[in-house]
Amino acid sequence: MDPKLVELLNPPTGVVALAATHVESGRTWRHNEHLRLPSASLIKLPILAAFWETVEAGRLDPGERVSVPAEALRVEGTGVLKALAPGLQPTWSDLATLMITVSDNVATNLIIDRLGMEAIQGWIDKAGLAETRIERRMMDRAAMSAGRGNWTSAADMEALLSAVTAGTCVSKAASRQMRRALDAQQIQDRLPRRLAEGLLVANKTGNFADVIHDAGIVTWANRTLVIAVLTQGVRPAWQAMDAIAEISPVLVQVCAELG
């Protein structure tokens, strides 16, 4: 393993987990990949997959408009809906897009309530994501106090994004919809930050308390790198973000050398 990568994966404090695959060569990188960590907003990726599965089963119309009530806007954390007036009527598809592109917690909770956590966990289990669990809505302080959390691993996130890349996550059409949302990601301060111009990154970040993650699909010159980097307890927090930002170009360089 590249010495720089070894250094980045073994910080003085906390833990870094990595699962990455260069699609064309099959080369993989693994470190703490099955370590179950708090998912933060990465849990929104399997929620998105469960959403499109429900659509394809005919149990949800993605074009149906949803009235966002005032009480739904009282959610901490990321997103734009809480800054808008109550009564806005986005479609379910709009909410799914907001859940990914700006990590909107209001949109996410509306989708969780519509699908049901049991159905979402059912999709997770069927997909074989062994370390991933959804046990609460976004920023549900009472659930947190009761010990309920959302969990995942680098291996699970890499597997899900590899399926999106291959067009096998739920279906080819669903994978295309998921990729569309990931391509529109607005949070670009981790995996994409130090990559050269011309590389495209379709990703989903997560951060909460001492947890900082990013998972995405990097494409350039007919090459594809699927990568998930999860961190917990790396201090100060900017070092975790820097580590993620530095890991991606190291792996891209190795992939470029593989041809």
Q: What is the pLDDT of residues 12-53, one digit of tens each?
A: 999 999 999 999 999 999 999 999 999 999 999 999 999 999
Q: Which of 100, 109, 114, 249 is nearest to 179 (CA)?
A: 100
Task: Look at residue 1 and tell me whether its pLDDT is greater than 80.
Answer: no
Average pLDDT of the segment spanning 143-169:
97
| C-beta of residue 208 within 8 angstroms of C-beta of residue 139 | no
The domain ranges of the chain are: 3-258
Q: What is the pLDDT of residue 181?
A: 98
Task: Look at residue 158 and tell me whether its pLDDT is greater than 80.
Answer: yes
State the burial class of residue 196 (Cβ atoms within 10 Å of its Cβ: 0-12, 13-18, 19+).
exposed
Q: What is the pLDDT of residues 176-191, one digit of tens each?
A: 999 999 999 999 999 9
Percent of the chain scored above 90 by pLDDT?
93
Using the Cα atoms of residue 21, residue 18, residue 195 and residue 169 in order, give the sign of their dihedral.
positive
The residue written with tokens 């009527």 in the block is 89
Fold of the CATH domain 3-258: Beta-lactamase (3.40.710)
* Pairwise CA distance, residues 4 & 245, whole Å: 13
| Cis ω before 236 (30° cut-off from 0) | yes
Q: Which of 19, 77, 16 is nearest to 212 (CA)?
A: 16
Length of the chain in residues, anyone?
259
Amino acid identity at 26:
G
Distances (CA, A) of 137 to 32, 95, 218: 26, 15, 29
Q: What is the pLDDT of residue 259?
A: 67
